[in-house]
Amino acid sequence: MRRYGKHTDEDDIRSRPGRRNTRPRTNIRPKHEDAAEGMVLTVDRGRLTCLVEGRVVMAMKARELGRKAAVVGDRVALVGDMSGKKDTLARIVRIEERTSVLRRTADDDDPYERVVVANADQLAIVTALADPEPRPRLIDRCLVAAFDGGLEPLLVMTKSDLAPPDKLLELYGALDIPYVVTSREELENGGAADRVLEQLDGRVTAFVGHSGVGKTTLVNALVPEEQRRSTGHVNAVTGRGRHTTTSALALPLSGRVADGWVIDTPGVRSFGLAHVDPSRVIHAFPDLAQGTEGCPRACSHDEPDCALDDWVAEGHADQARLYSLRRLLASRERTEGD
């Protein structure tokens, strides 16, 4: 499976959504030889908006897909009317294998998991420095979901005009995650967009975070004017956003400054992690993963016999990294309140 990571060249990204599928077919998939390849841009009550060969095409799931659901970012095979004309509807006959999946459980008691976005390379975890207040637990949980789903995390701290980023930067320093800090002024003078675009070039990036942190405001600063969506105010009394964005939407970067896609998503109250396997999180810490070889079976990595304490004491890895890993693993067990 090809991955559209940062090492891919530009042509790949440009040609991706509109290209006909020219991969050789095996006789396992004899049906729909002439299906076109598309990318799901948004989903609304069973109607999927897809980009097919440069055209926006409305589609629905073919019956043969059964219970499998296509989500934003999915690469799909379509048949039927692909003219993109009003009132036409194509059929999605296949969902291609995914390179990554961002999953969340609605909350930890509800093991029903949903795939939020498919095939994203990067997860931009958006946090306002104030209004609403940063919630490190949610950031931790989004990090775990990123590591679990195969997405590279990016921290985006907005509203630095209201509060400084120092405390958060200290908390996440040991994780060595790329970050950008943006302010109202820089949104207006284009500085914010420039710095964020540098991190997005050549990649598919999903933006997640609480309602009102400024996800849509930021995405709007990155895409051409005609693609902009509504933003909402944060309630001055409760400090909460208004859940202005109600569906995930993939938007292409113009290609002038950067190539790739941004996916705006609705604000979340919590990010349930009931589905997460801790060993996948540890893989995101190669400096510590090796040290777990000496751990007892089914070690929680936060118990007296855990080998990671010695691993760090022997100088193989940093104490702060171990602390961060333990904090992330523990975030799976706590319930994230509103």
Q: Which residue is nearest to ligand GTP (CB)?
A: 267
Q: Indicate the Cα dihedral angle 191, 192, 194, 198, nearest 10°.
A: 140
> What is the nearest approach in angstroms of Mg ion to the Cβ of residue 126?
10
Binding mask 123-162 for ligand GTP (x = CB under 6 A): -----------------------------------xx-xx
Alpha helices in 86-189 (DSSP H): 136-149, 166-173, 184-189
User: Considering beta carbons, is residue 261 or 311 the nearer one to Zn ion?
Assistant: 311
Number of residues that bind ligand GTP (CB under 6 A): 27
> What is the nearest approach in angstroms of ligand GTP to the Cβ of residue 116?
13
Contact indicator for 68, 83 with CB cutoff of 8 Å: no
Q: Indicate the Cα dihedral angle 274, 279, 284, 290, nearest 10°.
A: 160
Q: Residue holding tokens 């990155």?
A: 222
Q: Strands 75-80 and 90-95: what pairing?
A: antiparallel
User: Considering beta carbons, is residue 215 or 301 the nearer one to Zn ion?
Assistant: 301
Binding mask 267-286 for ligand GTP (x = CB under 6 A): x-------------------
Q: Which of residues 205-234 bind ligand GTP (CB under 6 A)?
A: 209, 211-217, 231-234
Return the residue of 299, 309, 321, 330 that touches Zn ion, per CB under 5 A.
299
Residue 184 contact, options ligand GTP, Mg ion, Zn ion, none, Cβ 5-8 Å cut-off depending on partner type: ligand GTP
Residue 220, interface with Mg ion (CB under 5 A)? no
User: Considering beta carbons, is residue 219 or 328 the nearer one to Mg ion?
Assistant: 219
Distance CA(172)–CA(168), nearest Å, equals 6
Residue 301, interface with Zn ion (CB under 5 A)? yes
154: helix, coil or strand?
strand
Q: Which of residues 152-191 bind Mg ion (CB under 5 A)?
A: none
Contact indicator for 205, 120 with CB cutoff of 8 Å: yes
How far does Cα 223 stand from its chain's mean position? 18
Helix (H) or strand (E) holding 224: none
Helix (H) or strand (E) holding 306: none
Distance CA(195)–CA(179), nearest Å, equals 10
Residues making contact with ligand GTP (CB under 6 A): 158-159, 161-162, 182-184, 187, 209, 211-217, 231-234, 241-245, 266-267
The footprint of Mg ion (CB under 5 A) covers: 215-216, 244-245
